[in-house]
């Protein structure tokens, strides 16, 4: 009988954001050192002739997906909601350069859900995204679980 295995890879990136219409400190542009843990599940390849024998996924392949879909997009960017009027969004872009406009309030929770969606689209057929944990600070994080979202 084949064993279902979970594998996890950790990533880190720097990103700033501002929360539209928020009534606390996060309404102003500020940055975080994010840590992202991506956990996949699958049955390891059982084929001695396959270069991926014994692997659920090659960690290099997972790194490529996360780098392309998340790190290269969000690292050293300012992320804001598309709710901002175009003039203000333009000011963000002029002041900060790399500004990402998303269709949601860029909270840790919403970012985690967005990242899960971006990753899932690129996984091999036999590999599933089990969970994603996004640390916004050393002591605060949001988690996304496939079992909660199916």
Classify domain 5-148 by CATH number: 3.30.479.10
Residue with tokens 């990103």, as numbered in its chain: 15
* Cα of 46 vs its chain's centroid, Å: 30
What is the residue whose two structure tokens read 């500004």? 99
Question: pLDDT 10s digit of each residue in the chain, 150 long?
Answer: 579 999 999 999 999 999 999 998 888 899 999 999 999 999 999 999 999 999 999 999 999 999 999 999 999 999 999 998 888 889 989 999 999 999 999 999 999 999 999 999 999 999 999 999 999 999 999 999 999 998
Task: Point out the catalytic residue in the list 10, 14, 30, 76.
Answer: 76
In this structure, how many other beta carbons lie within 10 angstroms of the beta carbon of residue 21? 9
Q: Is 108 a known active-site residue?
A: no
Is 69 considered catalytic here? no
- Provide the whole-model pTM: 0.94
Residue 26 among the catalytic residues: yes
Distance CA 84, CA 105 (A): 10
């Amino acid at each position: 009988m084949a064993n279902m295995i979970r594998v996890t890879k950790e990533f880190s990136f720097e990103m700033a954001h501002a929360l539209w219409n928020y009534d606390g400190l996060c309404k102003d542009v500020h940055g975080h050192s994010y840590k992202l843990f991506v956990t996949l599940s699958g049955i390891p390849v059982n084929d001695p002739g396959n270069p991926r024998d014994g692997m659920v996924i090659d960690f290099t392949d997972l790194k490529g997906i996360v780098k392309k879909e998340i790190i290269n997009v969000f690292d050293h960017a300012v992320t804001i909601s598309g709710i901002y009027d175009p003039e203000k969004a333009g000011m963000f872009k002029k002041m900060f350069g790399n500004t990402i406009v998303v269709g949601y309030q860029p909270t840790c929770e919403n970012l985690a859900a967005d990242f899960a969606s971006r990753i899932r689209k690129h996984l091999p057929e036999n590999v599933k995204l089990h969970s994603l944990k996004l640390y916004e600070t050393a002591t605060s994080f949001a988690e996304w679980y496939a079992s909660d979202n199916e």
